[in-house]
Amino acid sequence: MEKPLRLAIQKSGRLSEKSLQIIAKCGIKFGSNSRLLREEAENFPLEFLYLRDDDIPRYIHDKVADIGIVGRNEYDEQNLPLEVLRDLGFAKCRLSVAVPEGFNYTGLNSLEGKRIATSYPHILKSKLKEVGVNANIYEISGSVEITPSIGVADAICDLVSTGATLASNGLKEVEPIYRSTAVLIGRSDLEEEKKVILNRLLMRIDAVMKADDYKYIMFNLPKEHLGEVAQIIGGMKSPTVTPLFDDTWVAVQTVVQEKEFWDVLEQLKELGAQGILVTAIEKMAD
């Protein structure tokens, strides 16, 4: 029997739900019973290991798991010889330096000789080295944001998404030093058999992610503007054009990149497009 590929996913935390959603969108069926530490997919040679995110890179390195989903921050902090297979784009955050409200911050050199609390000593150390600042890095595993108020540190370096946690602790974010999203990581020395499974999985993940990036749009258009529309949605393959009963009009169907969507919509309206329908795309493969 085929040995399943072992995928490590965060058991419970910010990455768990989205990680499982991506796998489910790949058409892979599983129970997602979070009380289990391990389960096998029903219709794909994949085994799930549910772990703490901090343990995932090391487990992959030690061949307990083959691939896993973690924040890029965790991957870079642990600095193990693994590779990033895909950037999954979710769980966006930044690692930032933050200081108490009264701190006169003029740049990273304001941290010279100061004590900075962080759970990311490796990333912080390399940044400070890059800019030639000597500071005392105080490693701590959690509740970093309270350290200045209890006199443990002069500044902190922690993950931020909305910034609300910093503000509620009387801290101001002064310098993002690193940006992170969730990444799929793996070992580069997978057995051949597992590489084949991994490639099948990556093809599905790519199709899911590409579909998320695009919208499918349909609209009616005065035929005379077809050339201009083809230019607006340029870069893509030609749109599908269907004649209408009124032969001065046509129906157009095409895909548009999510990030360009609103611009395209405005331009289409200016060209007289009517009855514009937009739908999400579930999968998109080349």
Binding site for ligand PRT (CB under 6 A): 10, 13-15, 52-54, 71, 73-74, 91, 93, 158-165, 180
Nearer to ligand PRT, 15 or 67 (CB): 15
Nearer to Zn ion, 144 or 211 (CB): 144
Q: Where are the alpha helices (DSSP H) in the chain?
A: 16-25, 56-61, 72-78, 121-131, 164-168, 192-213, 226-232, 261-270
CB of 113 to ligand PRT, least distance (A): 25
Distance CA 116, CA 135 (A): 7
Q: Are 40 and 4 in contact (CB under 8 A)?
A: yes
Distance CA 107, CA 110 (A): 6
CB of 91 to ligand PRT, least distance (A): 4
- Coil vs helix vs strand at 77: helix
Nearer to Zn ion, 78 or 220 (CB): 78
CB of 279 to ligand PRT, least distance (A): 29
Strands (E), 76-135: 83-87, 93-100, 115-118
Nearer to ligand PRT, 45 or 71 (CB): 71
CB of 176 to ligand PRT, least distance (A): 12
* Helix orientation angle between 192-213 and 16-25, rounded to the nearest 10 degrees: 100
Nearer to ligand PRT, 5 or 9 (CB): 9
- Binding positions for Zn ion, rule: CB under 5 A: 53-54
CB of 71 to ligand PRT, least distance (A): 2
- Coil vs helix vs strand at 148: coil
Partner from Zn ion, ligand PRT, none binding residue 93, C-beta < 5-8 Å depending on class:
ligand PRT
